[in-house]
Amino acid sequence: MSFINYSSREINCKIVYYGPGLCGKTTNLQYVYAKTNPDAKGKMISLATETERTLFFDFLPLSLGEIRGFKTRFHLYTVPGQVFYDASRKLILKGVDGVVFVADSQMERMEANLESIENLRVNLAEQGYDLDRIPYVVQYNKRDLPNAVTVDELRSSLNPRSVPEYSAVAPTGVGVFDTLKAIAKLVLTELKKSS
């Protein structure tokens, strides 16, 4: 849910990276954090287990610049991908303005991708959102792995609605900023439409 502050002339929006366990949601944020100018970012917070798996969420505040005198700020969150953390995932979707679904391109993770998208749809609906209506982009991550299925196959299973989609290799940054820009743009366009 966006927060427009006339007093400080700021617009804040919330973007959530969703996807199955180990698909690269945290890696997306880590890359954005590493490559962003220090003036434009806040501290990245990761609430993770001892084995570096996301326990609750990662959080990264980013400034994107000004629109008509208003500073635009985006708060990026990831959810814990592991199936049994569903209660936490629901909480993080509260007040979301846009969702990035990070898919794992590996053949053996196709079922996990499908399960996660269905889980996203259900959890969004519980918060009163419709996955077919909110700003939404899909990222096909891990394109560099030998067991990656083709983008055409991923598209037909995971993106039947043809929302903006990006191929990515998150640790090296391929597709990471394209994905972020696309969702940020959709969120701002949606805010404009609904105003």
Partner 1 sequence: MNSGLVMYEEEFRLITGICDRLTRDANAKVVFLVDKNGQLIASSGQAQNLDTTSLASLTAGNVAAMGGLAKLIGEKEFPNQFHEGERESLHMSIVAGRVVLVVIFDAKSSLGLVRLRVKKAGEELGRVFDVLAKKQAMPGAQSPFAEITDDDIDNLFSE
> Which tokens hold the place of 115?
């399960």
Contact criterion met (CB below 8 Å) for 92 and 18: no
Within positions 110 to 129, which residues make up the interface with partner 1, using CB under 8 A? 127-129
Answer for which of 51, 52, 68, 108 binds partner 1 (CB under 8 A) is 68
Our finding on whether 6 is near partner 1 (CB under 8 A) is yes
Residues 6+ apart with CB under 8 A from 41: 33, 60, 61, 62, 63
SS3 104: strand
Q: What is the DSSP letter of 168?
A: -
Our finding on whether 42 is near partner 1 (CB under 8 A) is yes
User: What is the helix (H) or strand (E) element at residue 112, kind and residue range?
Assistant: helix 110-126
Within positions 70 to 89, which residues make up the interface with partner 1, using CB under 8 A? 70, 72, 75, 87-88
Cα(163)–Cα(96) distance, integer angstroms:
18
Our finding on whether 189 is near partner 1 (CB under 8 A) is yes
Minimum CB distance to partner 1 smaller for 114 or for 191: 191
Q: Residues interacting with partner 1, by CB under 8 A? A: 1-8, 11-12, 14, 42-43, 45, 47, 56-57, 59, 61, 64-68, 70, 72, 75, 87-88, 90-92, 94-95, 97, 127-129, 133-134, 181, 184-185, 188-192, 194-195
